[in-house]
Amino acid sequence: MFKYSDTNKRYHTLDYFYKHIFNTKVAKINLDAHFTCPNIDGTKGYGGCIYCLNGSSDYDKKNDLLKQFEDKKTIMLKKWPNAKLIGYFQANTNTYAPLDILKEKYELILKQDGVIGLSIATRADAITDECLEYLEKLAKRTYLTIELGLQTIHEKTSDFINRCHSLKCFEDMVKSLRKGNINVVVHIINGLPYETKNMMIDTVKYLNKLDIQGIKIHMLSVVKNTKLADIYSIKPFKILTKDEYIDIVCDQLEYLRQDIVIHRLTGDPLKENLIEPKWITNKISVLNGIDKEMAKRDSYQGIKS
C-alpha cells in the first residue's frame, strides 16, 4: 500500500491528507462570492481565458454567500454528519477586490460553525502586497490554502489561451506565499490545444521543483458559449481520448514528489454545457482507469521524482 493512502490509491489523496491532519472527514463548500477577474474586466485582458465560462452555477449567482454556504453545508452534513468544513471560494478570481471586501467575505465564512479553514482560488497577478500581508496573518489562525491557476508552463500555449500573465509572475507569487507559510495548490490542464504529451509532463516536472503543497489536474473541456468552443467549431484541434489522458496523468503522478497532495485528477463539467470530450462525464471511470493503470505498471506517485 502507498504510504499516503488508506485505500488502493497509489498517490497522495486529499481525503488521506485531511484525515491525518484533522482526524475526521473534511468537506469543501464551494462558493461564488461574485468577484470578477482582471482577465475579464480589461485590467489584464477581456473575456477571460478562452475555456472559461466566467462563473459558477446559476444557483450561486442568484444567492448570497451565506445562503450558498448554509444550503451546501446541509447537503454535506447529510452525507458526513461529523465532517469539518472548508469554505472554498471557487468562482473567478477570489482575491480581486478591495481588502475590506475580501475580509468581509472571508471572515463571514470563518465564523460559521464547523469551519476549520478557507481555500481561495485566484491568479498569481491578483494578490496585492496588502492582501498578501492579510493572508499571512490569516494563515496563522486558520487552515488556509491559496489555489493558483497556472494551466501550463509553455508561454506559447499561455498566450493562445489568453492567460495574460507570465510564468515568472506565477513563480514569484508561489515564493511570496510560501514565505508567509501559506499552503499553495496549483491547477494545470491537460489537452490544451497543440500541446504534446511531453509538454504536459514538462509542466509537472517544473512544478515538482517548486515549494507547492498540492495540485489539481484537469482535462480540457470544450464547453458551450466560450471562445474555445468557437475556435473548435471552425478548426477542430485534437481532443485527448480517455486512454491517452489516463496514460499522461499516470506519467505525471510518477514525476510528482510524494508530499504533494493530489486534490483532483479530472474535471466534471456540466453535461448540458459540454461539447467535448464526452468521456469526461464519467468521472468514476476515469479515476478507476488511473488506478488500474498505476497498478498495471506497479507504479506510484513519485517513483521518478
Task: Give the pLDDT mean for 263-276.
Answer: 91
Query: What tens digit of pLDDT does each residue of 286-300 get?
Result: 999 999 999 999 999
Phi, psi (degrees; rounded to nearest 5) at 131: -65, -45
CATH number of the domain that residue 24 is part of: 3.20.20.70
Q: pLDDT tens digit string along 242-268? A: 999 999 999 999 999 999 999 999 988
Instruction: Report if residue 168 sits inside a domain.
Output: yes
Cell (9 digits) for 145: 490554502
The set of residues, in sequence order, having a beta carbon less than 8 Å from that of 53 and lying 6+ positions away, is: 223, 225, 226, 273
Determine the Cα–Cα distance for residues 54 and 92; give it in Å rounded to an integer: 6
Range of the domain at 189: 14-297
pLDDT band at residue 114 under the 50/70/90 scheme: very high
Q: Rounded mean pLDDT of 40-46?
A: 78
Residue 135: its H or E element: helix 129-139
What pLDDT does 58 receive? Answer: 58
277 is a domain residue: yes
Q: Is residue 254 part of a domain?
A: yes
Q: Is residue 7 part of a domain?
A: no
Q: pLDDT-derived band of residue 39, with 50, 70 and 90 as boundaries?
A: confident
pLDDT at 225 over 60: yes
| Domain-embedded: residue 244 | yes
Instruction: Return the percentage of the chain with pLDDT > 90, whole number.
Output: 82
Asked if the structure places residue 4 within a domain, the reply is no
Task: Evaluate whether residue 238 is within a structural domain.
Answer: yes
pLDDT-based confidence at 122, cuts 50/70/90?
Answer: very high
Q: Name 117's bridge partners.
A: 86, 143
pTM flag (> 0.85)? yes
Question: Nearest Cα to 86, choosing from 22, 173, 149, 177?
Answer: 22
pLDDT at 201 over 60: yes
Instruction: Say if CB 262 and CB 301 are below 8 A apart.
Output: yes
| Amino acid 46: pLDDT | 76
pLDDT at position 2? 80
Q: What is the pLDDT of residue 38?
A: 85
Q: What pLDDT is attached to residue 10?
A: 96
Confidence (pLDDT) at 20: 92
Which residues, other chains included, contact 186 with Cβ-Cβ below 8 Å and sequence gap of 6+?
Answer: 147, 148, 149, 150, 174, 207, 212, 214, 215, 216
State the pLDDT at residue 305. 87
Q: Is residue 241 part of a domain?
A: yes
State mean pLDDT over 45-56: 74
Average pLDDT score over the chain: 93
C-alpha closest to that of 76 among 65, 85, 89, 64 = 85
User: What crossing angle do the helices spanning 99-110 and 65-79 adopt, rounded to 10°?
Assistant: 30
- For residues 152 and 139, give the distance between their C-alpha atoms in angstroms, rounded to a whole number: 27
| Domain count within the chain | 1
Confidence category of residue 61, pLDDT binned at 50, 70, 90? low
pLDDT of residue 247: 98
Of 124, 148, 110, which Cα lies nearest the Cα of 29?
A: 110
Q: Is there a contact between 11 and 253 (Cβ–Cβ < 8 Å)?
A: yes
Please report the pLDDT score of residue 59 as a whole number.
52
